[in-house]
């Protein structure tokens, strides 16, 4: 069953199957605008899935990164896509993941879960995205000494915030531009790799290096699965789509195939161009771009130092700008989804009602957007001070925390599929996971267990390495910037998680008045 496309510019009435939330959200619903078409959703997902901040992290693990990428595509990416396609098409309600968990497990669980999901965005924007953008600027343009680094970081954060608050009619062009920037940048990089290979040859990749190991899996599973997530984000704006029941499953299928190609090619290119010992998790993609662009003008010294000149410098600058735009649009696109879900949660009584307000002018949750930008700014300033400007340490801690908060929320969200099949068996499902009950259990168990395991290895890197005869040392799994500092790294993950949980409880307490009104 599919719904006919809605031609009205505003979403005045919920669909007949829309679950009842609160009177507070019903009041806000009429301010939404149905502006997202199928093609918009597709590019939205490409911008969401193809993150440029983790390509170097995967390449840093060598050729086995591609092997594990293929394995996880089968055992995580596919089940996860099938799971979200059913939930998104069966319950096409604004707030997506929050509403699914709310219907399955109640408002308290859903509210705490949503805090983790939402707050991962300011952590990500003020953390790994910002530091890669700053590093790229310094590599290709000019150094950012002292306060200039803070100023540039704040411009990056608030530039994204300005884009997020715009109406969906305007704001949707950000993920569209981001998707196009990714396709152009990564496509040009691959063409340049071919030209570089013809002129200079490439590094041999022995077949033995593609052999998967457990130590490699533990190191790679967080960033690989993080590369694969984001399918649920358009569902957070479901009531701003023309036809979510039809468009969500189709967009998931097409964007999933596109993301595999857009990830695999550049990672292979980096491995061909750079010696394994020179691939860093932060600068791997940046260094590879500089190296291949020497074919247009420039040179590589014996110690590996790259100097770009002439056309090489010009094209390098253009590519650097494209990379920064790609990073910015990643944060914006995730924010567009996560912030909408948080606004629904607050309007529903799982948070302060004032954060659940949708702007009449823009049709977006402006207050949540601005609060997120403030949190990202605070994180940027605090983290740069705590790490004394150490970009690698800041990047490792920020990316780890981003993945950890997001994946803990998934541990709750994914089982919603099984619960909602039982609680709402008669809800129309335009798309359903194939295989009946067994199929639903299979995709849920695979997706949930893999994200749960990822949380464990993020908090305790190297978990299981050296056990039962496996090779390697658990200490080697720590991020390079935290070598020999396991306690410091673990605290960089656990302490913020405890703070976020406390924020969730405070938010829920602040939603008491809304819940009383509802009852």
What lies within 8 Å, CB to CB, of 321 at 6+ separation is none
Confidence of residue 301 (pLDDT cuts 50, 70, 90): confident
Kindly state the helix (H) or strand (E) to which residue 134 belongs, with its residue range.
helix 130-140
Domains within the chain, CATH numbers bracketed:
32-518 (1.20.1740.10)
For 255-270, how does the pLDDT look when each residue is reduced to its tens digit (9 = 90+)?
A: 888 888 877 778 887 7
Q: Which residue has the tokens 């704006």?
A: 237
Looking at every residue in the chain, the average pLDDT score rounds to 82
Q: Where are the alpha helices (DSSP H) in 354-482?
A: 366-386, 391-413, 416-423, 436-459
Q: pLDDT band at 345, cuts 50/70/90?
A: very high
| pLDDT tens, residue by residue, 24-55 | 566 777 777 777 787 888 888 888 877 776 77
Structure confidence at residue 492 (pLDDT): 82
| Rounded mean pLDDT, 298-314 | 83
pLDDT for residue 388: 61
Give 131-152 pLDDT, tens digit per residue: 888 888 888 888 888 888 889 9
Q: How confident is the model at residue 63 (pLDDT cuts 50, 70, 90)?
A: confident
DSSP string for residues in 191-226: HHHHHHHHHH------GGGGS--HHHHHHHHHHHHH
Residue 19, token pair as written in the block: 């679950």
Asked whether 383 and 394 are in contact (CB, 8 A), the reply is yes
pTM given for the model: 0.84
Rounded to an integer, what is the distance from CA 231 to the centroid of its chain? 10
State the pLDDT confidence band at 389, using cuts at 50, 70 and 90: low
- The reported pLDDT for the residue numbered 279 is 61
pLDDT recorded at residue 170: 83
Give mean pLDDT, residues 350-373. 88
pLDDT for 468 beyond 70: no
């Amino acid at each position: 069953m599919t719904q006919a496309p809605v031609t009205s510019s505003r979403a005045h009435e919920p669909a007949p199957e829309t679950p009842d939330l609160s009177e507070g959200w019903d009041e806000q619903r009429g301010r939404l605008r149905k502006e997202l078409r199928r093609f918009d959703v597709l590019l939205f997902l490409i911008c969401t899935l193809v993150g440029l901040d983790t390509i170097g992290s995967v390449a840093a693990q060598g050729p086995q990164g591609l092997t594990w990428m293929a394995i996880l595509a089968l055992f995580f990416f596919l089940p996860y896509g099938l799971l979200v396609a059913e939930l998104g098409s069966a319950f096409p309600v604004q707030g997506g993941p929050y509403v699914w968990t709310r219907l399955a497990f109640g408002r308290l669980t859903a509210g705490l879960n949503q805090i983790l999901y939402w707050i991962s965005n300011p952590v990500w924007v003020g953390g790994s995205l910002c530091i890669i953008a700053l590093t790229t600027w310094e590599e290709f343009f000019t150094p950012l000494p002292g306060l200039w680094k803070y100023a540039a970081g704040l411009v990056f954060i608030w530039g994204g915030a300005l884009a997020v608050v715009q109406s969906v009619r305007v704001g949707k062009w950000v993920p569209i531009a981001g998707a196009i920037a990714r396709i152009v940048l990564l496509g040009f990089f691959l063409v340049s790799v071919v030209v570089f290979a013809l002129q200079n040859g490439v590094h041999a990749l022995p077949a033995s290096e593609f052999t998967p190991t457990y130590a490699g899996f533990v190191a790679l599973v967080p960033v690989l699965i993080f590369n694969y997530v984001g399918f649920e984000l358009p569902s957070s704006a479901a009531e701003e789509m023309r036809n979510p029941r039809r468009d969500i499953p189709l967009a998931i299928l097409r964007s999933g195939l596109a993301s595999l190609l857009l990830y695999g090619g550049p990672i292979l290119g980096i491995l061909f161009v750079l010696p394994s010992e020179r691939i860093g998790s932060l600068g791997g993609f940046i260094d590879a771009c500089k190296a291949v662009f020497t074919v247009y003008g420039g040179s590589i010294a014996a110690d590996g130092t790259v100097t770009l000149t002439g056309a090489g410098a010009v094209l390098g600058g253009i590519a650097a700008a494209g990379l920064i735009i790609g990073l910015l649009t990643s944060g914006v696109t995730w924010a567009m989804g996560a912030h909408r879900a948080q606004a629904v949660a607050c309007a529903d009584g799982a948070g302060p009602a004032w954060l659940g307000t949708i702007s009449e002018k823009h049709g977006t949750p402006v207050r949540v957007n601005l609060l997120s930008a403030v949190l990202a700014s605070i994180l940027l300033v605090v983290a740069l001070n705590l790490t004394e400007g150490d970009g690698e340490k800041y990047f490792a801690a920020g990316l780890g925390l981003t993945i950890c908060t997001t994946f803990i929320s998934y541990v709750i969200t994914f089982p919603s599929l099984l619960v909602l099949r039982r609680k709402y068996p008669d809800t129309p499902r335009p798309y359903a996971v194939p295989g009946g009950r067994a199929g639903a259990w299979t995709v849920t168990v695979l997706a949930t267990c893999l994200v749960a395991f990822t949380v464990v290895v993020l908090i305790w890197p190297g978990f299981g390495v050296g056990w039962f005869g496996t090779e390697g040392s658990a200490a080697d799994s720590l991020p390079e910037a935290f070598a020999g500092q396991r306690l410091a790294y673990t605290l960089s993950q656990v302490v913020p998680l405890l703070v976020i949980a406390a924020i969730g409880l405070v938010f829920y307490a602040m939603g008491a008045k809304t819940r009383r009104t509802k009852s």
